[in-house]
Chains A and B, each alone.
Chain A
Amino acid sequence: MAAGMAITGDARRLYLQAMAQQVRRSIVEMINGAGAGHIGGDLSVTDILTTLYFAVLRIDPETADRPDRDRCILSKGHCAAALYSVLALRGFIPKEALQTFMQPLSALNGHPNRRKVSGVEANTGPLGHGLPIGVGSAVASRLSGKNWQTYVVLGDGELQEGSNWEAAMAAGHRGLDNLVAIIDRNRLQQGARTEDTSRLDPLPEKWATFGWKTVEVDGHDHLQIYDSLTAPRSGRPLCVIANTIKGKGISFIEDRVEWHHKVPSPGEFERAMQELAE
């Protein structure tokens, strides 16, 4: 059991903040070492993944394949550095492996591969793939009576992919209340703001009309995320719209479209690590 499940209140908040800071430092180091990566989205999704892996998911690195484990699927697979950092900190993969991120023949590809990395549930990367897989997992949970929970973490830009809405419709129709979609709503996609590219708002209303319960949270407030994921659910799948800042935690990267997959210069790397040390 992760430490964040056993403690409560301020202790949980402080613990998750400390974990998230370690994850952010790891992400920046990995991208610096690889000379590649998706730094903006990694940093916006960090607090969501940290809360899931350290306070919500019923998983255990010692029994990573147990049939009734909770499933977490990172649909925005380009944020693999954030996922690998969390998995290493949680004990699924050795921390030293993070240094091999995107190096030749490393298990840690630029997008996650479940055949190579313990704790990865699906080989994501092309957008709009995670939610359908999550729907299948949720149906399997119900059918088998093993009652695990399925969490799918999506980017907001990828909601422009139609496959998400096929899955949203099926999940709403089936009333899959063991399924949670968490939207990393940082309002930026690779080339521009989501709302200037192909408008997503009003997002809560969209999910609601597909039969989902919706809730909006501050996607960098661990306790808000935690509360949204652990509140009792009944009859409907849950969509948590986590309002985030792309590049969160590094002042000169925050909310800047050019940092989708830019790599820090040596000087920028120094400044970033200083900001994350504070």
Chain B
Amino acid sequence: MNGAPTALAATFDCRQAFAEALADLARTDERVVAVCNDSVGSSNLGSFQKEFPDRLVNVGIAEQNMVGVAAGLANGGYIPFVCAASPFLTGRALEQIKADIAYSQYHVVLCAMSPGLAYGALGPTHHSIEDLSWLRAIADLAIVVPADPEQTRAAVLWSADSGRPSFLRISRFKVPSVSEAQKDAFAFGRIDVPREGRDLTIAATGVMVSRALEAAQDLAAEGVSARVLNVSTIKPLDEDTVIAAAQETGAIVTVEEAAVEGGLGAAVAAVVVRNAPVPMRMLGVTGFAPTGDTGFLLDHFGLNRAGIVAAALDVRVRR
């Protein structure tokens, strides 16, 4: 088996779909505003700024203030979309996310740009692998990780309508579409099953969903039927679909572009051990990354089709 793509599918930077959806929303709902930390360019907000100059609040390089300002705007009747690089939004403003947004229950959408290993060779200071672990521990905050542009757009529309605080992880690393065949690209709280299978389950999120589908193709070639789950809502988790996967396939591999300590793997494991214990493998980022571009680093941590196939064959032996 090899690590090359199966087809030359078109790939997309989800920030573009995000920016288009946000602008569409802003045209129809005057409560929608954007808040950023000097991140107009990196959040793709240039055209939003041109069209709605008064509704882009750039607070400068000041993430704690940025999140607090968003809470105040929500208090004043607006629906703020906070757009900032994920490592700084989450790490620098974690207490504001907890107290001002989640505990205060203000309808703010935290849009984490370029998460995971997206910043590549800029290094671990700029990687955002801890975000899912940190935020899963915060009560009353929805965590959504779209896997492609269609899901990104649908998640943005959902978040504006949801009336609740949420965290959207917007990928920069280019991904192919995985949901275009579905009737609706994204439903909050629902795990999608883009590929059915009997022998084991690969539960993936975000960037890793397309790679999980590639791995499932390779496994099929070896006679192993792998179910693939697209976990686009990390919190609250669709427990029924996880339990069914454990009961029906008997083994689970989780794959995330994040630290395994508290992200998707931990969330799935908590459901599995309570309800239907089966062998699991958790693939993710297992330490501060060495120097390298995003593609290199994903390979380095085994977050590619070969790595997923190896984990799947390994976990299946232990069924």
Point out residues on A near B: beta carbons under 8 Å.
67, 71, 113-115, 121-126, 128-129, 131-141, 143-144, 148, 150, 162-163, 166-167, 169-170, 173
Contact = CB atoms under 8 A, between A and B. Distances in A.
Given A132-B65, A163-B64, A122 B55 contact: no
Contact of B33 (A138, A143, A170): A143
A124 B99 contact: yes
Nearest to A173: B60
21 contacts: A114-B104, A122-B72, A123-B99, A126-B99, A129-B100, A132-B64, A132-B71, A132-B96, A133-B68, A133-B71, A136-B80, A138-B72, A139-B72, A140-B72, A140-B76, A144-B77, A163-B64, A166-B60, A166-B62, A167-B65, A170-B65
Contact of A136 (B62, B69, B105): B69
A139 B57 CA distance: 9
Contact of B68 (A71, A135, A140): A135
A162 B103 contact: no
A167 B33 CA distance: 18
A126 B65 contact: no
A133 B60 CA distance: 15
Nearest to A152: B72
A150 B71 CA distance: 14
A132 B80 CA distance: 14
B98 to A, nearest CB: 8
A122 B71 contact: yes
A122 B100 contact: yes
A133 B62 contact: no
Contacts of A140: 72-73, 75-78
B100 A139 contact: no
Contacts, number: 112
A264 to B, nearest CB: 30
B76 A166 contact: no
Contacts of B103: 113, 123
Nearest to A67: B77
A139 B72 CA distance: 8
Q: Across chains A and B, which 8 residue pairs bring their CB atoms closest together, nearest first?
A: A136-B72, A132-B68, A140-B76, A166-B65, A166-B62, A136-B69, A137-B72, A163-B64
B76 A136 contact: yes
Contacts of B59: 135, 166, 170
Secondary structure class of chain B's binding surface, majority of residues:
helix
Interface string B7-37: 0000000000000000000000000010000
A148 B72 CA distance: 13
A136 B64 contact: no
**Residue among B69, B71, B77 with the highest chain A CB neighbour number at 10 A:** B69
Contacts of B104: 114-115, 122-123
B311 interface: no
B161 interface: no
B68 A131 contact: yes
A135 B105 CA distance: 18
Contact of A167 (B55, B68, B78): B68
Contacts of B80: 136
B69 A170 contact: yes
A137 B67 CA distance: 12
Contacts of A170: 59-60, 62, 65, 69
Given A123-B104, A126-B95, A126-B99, A136 B60 contact: no
B222 interface: no
A200 to B, nearest CB: 19
B132 interface: no
Contacts of B54: 143
A133 B77 contact: no
A115 B65 contact: no
Given A123-B104, A136-B70, A166-B65, A129 B77 contact: no
A143 B80 CA distance: 13
Contacts of B55: 143
A13 B73 CA distance: 35
Interface in B33-86: 33, 54-55, 57, 59-60, 62, 64-78, 80
B259 to A, nearest CB: 25
Contacts of B70: 136
Contacts of B96: 129, 132, 163
Nearest to A135: B69
Contacts of A125: 99
A133 B64 contact: no
A135 B96 CA distance: 14
**Residue among A125, A131, A132 with the highest chain B CB neighbour number at 10 A:** A132
Contacts of B64: 128, 132, 162-163, 166
A71 B75 contact: yes
B112 to A, nearest CB: 19
Given A122-B100, A126-B95, A144-B77, A133 B105 contact: no
Nearest to B106: A122
Nearest to B103: A123
A274 B105 CA distance: 42
Contacts of B67: 132
A138 B68 CA distance: 12
A136 B75 contact: yes
